[in-house]
Structure 1
Amino acid sequence: MLPDVVGDFLMELTNEGLKVSSVKRYSADLRQFFTWIEDNKIQSNLESIQNLSITDLAQYMDYISSLNYSDDTVRRLRVVLNRFFTYLGINMSINQIHPSGPNKRDLTETDFVTKQEMNKLLSSMQNTSYTAPGTGLETRNRLIDRNISIIYLICKYGLSPAEIHFIDMNDINFAQSVITLNKRTIHVSSEHIAVILRYFNSVPEPLRPRYRTRDPLFVAFYNSNSTYRFDYQRGMPSRLSIRSIQHIIQSEVYLAGLRRITAINLRNSCILDALKSGRSDEDVVKLFGFKNAFSLRRYKSYLYSIPQQ
């Protein structure tokens, strides 16, 4: 059985106007991928998929090669996985991965966000005198607390857009300022939880997520008529998509007049700050949901390469 995230992805493709036959092809290709995942004793939950390594994917390509598929079929499988990874906010292209492929490239200065850039972004986000591309002034101002909440969760706590997408009301405790995700307990500062709570209370009560339910914390929004979306089939508010979260970041970065900065850059900076603070590898692995300490190799290599202040 495919994970729920695959169903959400296929629904996104349908909403984009992809043909029914193409969506079915995507479903079949992803089913094959997750069958391989299970056969190799890898959990099929979101956290495990996000932490797949180059080696894992190279092994999958080894498996694909053993099936003697045509070049066109292999190319299609790569396209499907790339699009699925992009949907999840995973910065990994399978196009360059071949059997026994190389490790990820070293990190450079451009993979991180400076304190000056971060301060400029947050300052710009609180500026209510201009609009985001394609969004009216009133609409953007209404969503400022939501947007800042999302940025805080990425740059201060290292959550990915996919993790933010999947936060349910069951996962957050406003009174204790705690978010629980994939057995990780994230302690949110009182300042930041207050911003999230302001966003939550700004959602009209009939459309507002319900406490202690699987309702999503972040609700999708119709810019065209300035209203939150409700999924009447499921009887709950519609979940803000991963793509929308990425678009929010792109729009706010553009308004701030900054270079191209993504959620990955913000998360990278959060991980680097944790290492700079002297936290143990074990703590950092647990805090950011890594598979093991080897995942920190690139961050530590970059940290050792920069002048110590």
Structure 2
Amino acid sequence: MAHEALLTEPTDVTLFLDYLASRGRKESTIRRYRYDLQDFYAFVSVELEEDRPPASKRIPPSLLEGYFSLLAEGRHYHAKTIKRIHTVLLRYFSFLHSTQRIASNPMTGITAEEAVTERLQEKDLVFPAEVKKLFHSLRSDAGLSARQAAVRPMLAPRNLLMIQLFLQHGLRLQELSTLTYRQVNLGKGELAISEFTGNPRIVQLSAAEKKLFFQYFQLIPEPVRPSYPHHPVFVAFDFQRQTYRWSYENDAPKNLTEVAIQKMLREERRRAGIDRSFSAKHFRNTYIVNELKKGISPEHMKETLGLQSILTLNKYISFVNQADS
């Protein structure tokens, strides 16, 4: 082994550092990576109130968001330093995901720019006029080719539902893409967010959202419709065959991936005639700002969003206070 492991070093970290050594990385680079990963795991252990570093699969995006907030707002690290640490964690979790040591990558959606940004700006939100145009477009066939119009009734409810969950509940991209049938209880009108993508919590659905769920499920042909607990809720669509897809490898409906959801957002944005780019993160930002403007307390928002630290909300609180002043 080209580097010396500490007794408290998680196995995943050791494997990753061994991988870097096998790729010819310098010892100084490996020492720097180890230091950054040790610091991150020390933060995680404190947040989870555990004596030993937790398994990597138990680290949700909320912990990473809290960590970057600590670096920027608690420790006041320079942007260059935060970007370097972001690169370390991105490569680390990408390695774990590619080697199937974790089911999903918690760094997805956490960009270097967001990691270093201490201030929220107007451009980080989805504007009310854009939301109106987007929902109007989702309910319209205007501008579609005959082929696109033929499948629109099958796709629009799914896309509308996903955007609704982003905007009205602040769900993360990963939380939505990994949602399974066992997490949906339409009788109670609840979504149970998994501990693998965030703090375990219950999201209460409105009557309109429950109706959208029922409509979406009924539009999926029964042979490929989510019906077992492990089945993904949001299913990929086959435009050639004009139907929802089945994964023979997983013996389940084919999961709509994070990349596919991002592509859907881009296509719906363009179709609505919205020129500027925005992502799932913009919807989450908008949700948080809107809730704070309603007078919802930061403590309540922390629980609602499954955040590990209230520090994550500081830039939103500052934005709202500045807008009110």
- Please say whether Structure 1 and Structure 2 have the same fold, judged by a TM-score greater than 0.5: yes
Q: Following TM superposition, by how much is the alpha carbon of 1:80 offset from its aligned partner in structure 2, in angstroms?
A: 3.5
Task: Determine if contact 2:109/2:173 at 8 Å carries over to the other structure.
Answer: no
Q: Give the corresponding residue for 1:266.
A: 283
The aligned counterpart of 2:265 is 249
Q: Quick one: structure 1 residues 282 and 252, their matched pair in 2 at CA, closer, same or farther if it must change by over 3 Å? A: same
Q: Is the 8 A contact 1:88 1:162 kept in 2?
A: no
Aligned to 1:92: 111
Aligned AA (2:119): D
CA distance in 1, matches of 2:262, 2:178: 14
- Counterpart of 1:188? 205
Q: Please identify the structure whose Cα radius of gyration is greater.
A: 2
- Whether the 8 Å CA contact 1:155–1:269 is kept in 2: the answer is yes
Aligned partner (choices 212, 236, 252) of residue 252 of structure 2: 236
Letter in 2 for 1:270: Y
Tell me the distance in 1 between the aligned counterparts of 2:172 and 2:251: 26
- State the TM-score, normalizing by the size of structure 1: 0.73
| 1:204-219 correspondence to structure 2 within 5 Å | 204-211=221-228, 213-219=229-235
The 1-side partners of 2:144 and 2:308 are apart by 40
Shift of 1:54: 2.2
CA shift for structure 1 position 239:
1.0
Structure 1: runs of 5+ lacking an equivalent? 3-20, 66-73, 98-102
- Report deviation, 1:38: 5.4
User: Number of aligned pairs?
Assistant: 265
Equivalent residue, structure 2, for 1:166: 178
Residue matched to 1:130: 143
- For 1:1-309, list aligned pairs within 5 A: 41=45, 43=54, 44=56, 45=58, 46-48=60-62, 50-54=64-68, 80=91, 89-93=108-112, 103-131=116-144, 136-182=148-194, 183-211=200-228, 213-258=229-274, 259-307=276-324
TM-score by length of structure 2 reads: 0.69
What is the deviation of 1:186? 0.3
What is the Cα deviation at residue 225 of structure 1?
Answer: 2.4
- Percent identity, aligned pairs only, is 24
Question: Residues 207 and 230 of structure 1 are in contact (CA less than 8 Å); yes or no, is this contact kept in structure 2?
Answer: yes
| Cα shift at 1:231 | 1.9
Higher deviation after alignment, 145-154 or 43-52:
43-52
1:136 to partner: Cα distance: 2.6
- Distance of 1:137 and 1:33 partners within structure 2: 54
Partners of 1:256 and 1:181 in 2: CA distance: 30
